[in-house]
Each structure stands twice: as C-alpha cells, then as structure tokens.
Structure 1
Amino acid sequence: MAKKQKARILIKLLSSAGTGYFYVRSRARTAPKLNFIKYDPRIGRRVIFNEAKMK
C-alpha cells in the first residue's frame, strides 16, 4: 500500500537585513506565514527572518 503524503511544504526564510542570507525549513500547508529571529552570519547578529517564495 502507498503511504499518504504529508501536508508539508518547504519555505525560504529570508533575512530582513538585506544580506541575502536565508534558511530553508518546512511548515504545514495550512499554517500562517512564519517569522523567526535567527542569526545572520554576514552581519554577525540576530535579525528577523521572514517567509519568502522559493523559486
């Protein structure tokens, strides 16, 4: 029997500092957009990472 596919998608978390640094995570399809405070190594501090479209 085939397994049921999970209702999760991959998203890109893009730095709000404008450095172009990003993380890739997964989230549920029905969940609202994500915002995280994470470390941006290009500027050496923690900033807000907002969800962006993956191309």
Structure 2
Amino acid sequence: MRINILLACLDCKRRNYATEKNKKNTTGRIEMKKFCPFCGGHRMHRETK
C-alpha cells in the first residue's frame, strides 16, 4: 500500500516536495537530502504528518 507524503525542509520548515512511500516496508519517517529553493542549497528534508 503506497501513500502520498510531503517532505519539509528542516531549516526553513517549508514543504517543498511530494513523493510516495510504501507504508509496509518503511514504517518510520523518511529523511532525504534534497535541494531547497528557499534556502538556496541542499538540505535535509523530513516527512511531515
């Protein structure tokens, strides 16, 4: 079962990316290093509720 999630920048707290994850295989929150256009650099992004 795949669900849609939003990724938010840990520095500026803005929600920049939307992606999917498999809830059965990945039960915790996803963290990815993505480009934040508001901060102007590559920052860690975490799954939001």
User: How many residues are paired up?
Assistant: 47
1:48 aligns with 2:44: yes
One-letter amino acid matched to 1:16: L
Matched-pair identity in %: 21
- 1:28 is aligned with what amino acid? N
- Output the TM-score relative to the length of structure 2: 0.83
- In structure 2, do the counterparts of structure 1 residues 44 and 51 end up closer, same or farther at CA, with 3 Å as the change threshold? same
Moved >4 Å (runs of 4+): none
Read off the aligned partner of 1:45 and give its amino acid letter: G
What secondary structure does 1:43 align onto? coil
CA positional deviation for 1:19 = 4.7
More strand by share: 2
Q: Is the 8 A contact 2:6 2:15 kept in 1?
A: no
Q: 1: CA distance between counterparts of 2:44 and 2:36?
A: 9
Q: Determine which structure has more spread, i.e. the larger CA radius of gyration.
A: 1
Matched, 1:38 2:12: no
> Secondary structure of the residue that 2:39 maps to in structure 1?
coil
